[in-house]
Structure 1
Amino acid sequence: MLQSSTLKFIKDLSKNNNKPWFDAHRKQYDAAKTDFTTFIQAVIDKHGLKDDSIREQEAKKCLFRINRDVRFSKDKSPYKTNMGASINRGGRKSVFAGYYFHLEPGQSFVGGGIWMPMPPETKKVRQEIDYCFDEFKKIVQSKKFTNIYGDLYREEDMTLSRVPQGFDKNNPAGEYLKLKSWIAMQSLKDADLTSKDLLKKTVTAFEALQPMVIFINRALENVE
């Protein structure tokens, strides 16, 4: 579980997104970061018993920085109003699929997969889905997966308008080949975040996602 003070800090930051306020509340930020890091490490330790590809990851290396990159953004707010952790084989910046936890009061979620891979990785994933569609379909349409995630993320900005070049337009895997990212998300209520069941809920979600992570990473083994 996470402390209510961690959620409060994020909420307060969203209302006071400026450096003077942040500097004055540095202790609260440090406490919130420690709380979040401790929770993520507990997730790694627990799920790492079933997925040895993440077993050696350290939570502090999985967290994203609170500072925003404002160089190319019209929004010059200096800080993110969320905390996120990407738990991946090979580390947070690796090309491999993995798991993600997003802490943002009112918009928190748990899930993962692979987000906007580069063209070589995208090609490999699509080829694997095409070659092994029965296996992939069984994974993402399984009761365990759909009970938690429903379906893969299919917002318009993450989907091509037609089956990509190189694949038959009537390919039975077409709807999955059109995706630009292969991710799944389960929303978390604020009450979930401070519940003693948060660790169990998160690990259960990761367990349901693991077969898809394995499938995608198998495709990426030999990316050139």
Structure 2
Amino acid sequence: MTIETIDKSTLKFLTDIAANNNRDWFQTNKQFYVEAQQNMHSFIEGLILKINKHDQLENRSAKQSLHRIYSDMRFSKDKLPYHSKFDFSLKRFGKQRRGGYYMNIKPGNSYLACGFFAPNPEDLKRIRLDITKNYPQWNEILQSKEIKSNFGDLKGNAVLTTPRGFQKDHVAIELIRHKQFYLRHDFSDEEVLSDSFLAQVNSIYTAVMPFFDYMSELLTTDSNGETIV
């Protein structure tokens, strides 16, 4: 295997642990977990190198990016001890660069996402106000060929009612109701295992840059273009 590929054995391990999610099986087969983890580390390292050619990441290594396979069962209804997926997050470098990258590798449910998953109340209000004032710009970005062909529609949880202080009949009310603002692209297992997967992922991440640029300026400058961070 090379850094350009996700190996078949990695997906097989995830399939196996989903069917045998217990400590005894995991300890007996831990060598397969270690091999799959190493494969993911190699893939992530390669992806970090590629993304840093068109963006700047805070993440320096795969180890600080890949999430733990061990479940935190203290606050979860799901009492299975292990996740049956590999997932990781990549944070953009610096206060001036907003947004983040995420990826989930799981047989039959692999996808990437990028955007704003949990904006704080101040940022959320600023985003919603900007939508009311500059909806044509939002629409232009979200309906662009790059966004639509790579991601489809904007994703994210939304409130059911009209947020306080906003008009329920605003043309962009469905967008204003959003609490999250992210884009998602799903992959088949065949795509995940292909030799071109890393390049494909990087290409899709590149397409989000106009959205990141707009949101970063919105959240880090005032109406006069002066920095607020």
Asked if TM exceeds 0.5, the reply is yes
Cα displacement (A) at 1:55: 6.7
Q: Within the alignment, does 1:43 sit opposite 2:47 as a pair?
A: yes
Ranges in structure 1 where 5+ consecutive residues have no aligned partner:
none
CA-to-aligned-CA distance 1:72-104 (integer Å, 9 cap, x gap): 22221011111111111259xxx9421111101
In structure 2, the residue matched to 1:152 is 154
Show structure 2 runs of 5+ residues with no match: 222-227
| Identity across matched positions, percent | 31
Q: Deviations over 1:139-196 (max 9, x none)?
A: 1110111011110125xxx122233112222333322111111111111000111101
> Where does residue 162 of structure 1 map in the other structure?
161
| Letter of the 1:15 counterpart | A
Shift, 1:13, TM fit: 0.6
CA contact (8 A) 2:9 2:36 kept: yes
Write the distance in 2 (CA, Å) between the matches of 1:152 and 1:25: 40
Question: Contact (CA 8 Å) 1:129, 1:136: kept in 2 or not?
Answer: yes
Residue 92 (structure 2) aligns with: 89
**Distance in 2 separating the partners of 1:48 and 1:90:** 10
CA contact (8 A) 2:87 2:104 kept: yes
- Worse-matched range after superposition: 200-209 or 131-140: 131-140
CA distance in 2, matches of 1:23, 1:221: 47
Count how many residue pairs are aligned between Structure 1 and Structure 2.
Answer: 217
**Based on CA coordinates, which of the two structures has the bigger radius of gyration?**
2
1:119 aligned to which of 110, 113, 121 = 121
- Matching of residue 216 in structure 1 with residue 220 in structure 2: no
Call closer, same or farther: CA 1:26–1:73 in 2, change over 3 Å: same
Give the direction of change, closer, same or farther, for the CA distance of 1:6–1:118 in structure 2 (3 Å limit): same
The 8 Å contact of residues 48 and 55 in structure 1, kept in 2 or not, is answered as no
User: d(CA) in 2 for partners of 1:207 and 1:163?
Assistant: 33
Residue in structure 2 matching 1:59, options 59, 62, 65 = 62
**1:30 counterpart = 2:34:** yes
Query: Matched residue of 1:7: which SS?
Result: helix
**Quick check: 55-64 or 24-33, which moved more?**
55-64
Q: Could you say which residue in structure 1 is the equivalent of 2:192?
A: 193
* 1: CA distance, partners of 2:129 / 2:89: 25
**Offset from partner CA, 1:15-34 (integer Å, 9 cap, x none):** 11111111122211111111
Larger mean Cα displacement after TM superposition, 137-146 or 109-118: 109-118
TM-score relative to the length of structure 2: 0.86
Question: 1:207: how far off?
Answer: 1.0
CA shift in 2, pair 1:27/1:88, >3 Å: same
Q: 1:164 to 1:103 in 2, by over 3 A?
A: same
Are the equivalent residues in 1 in contact too, given 2:59–2:91 (CA < 8 A)? no
When normalised by structure 1's length, the TM-score is: 0.88
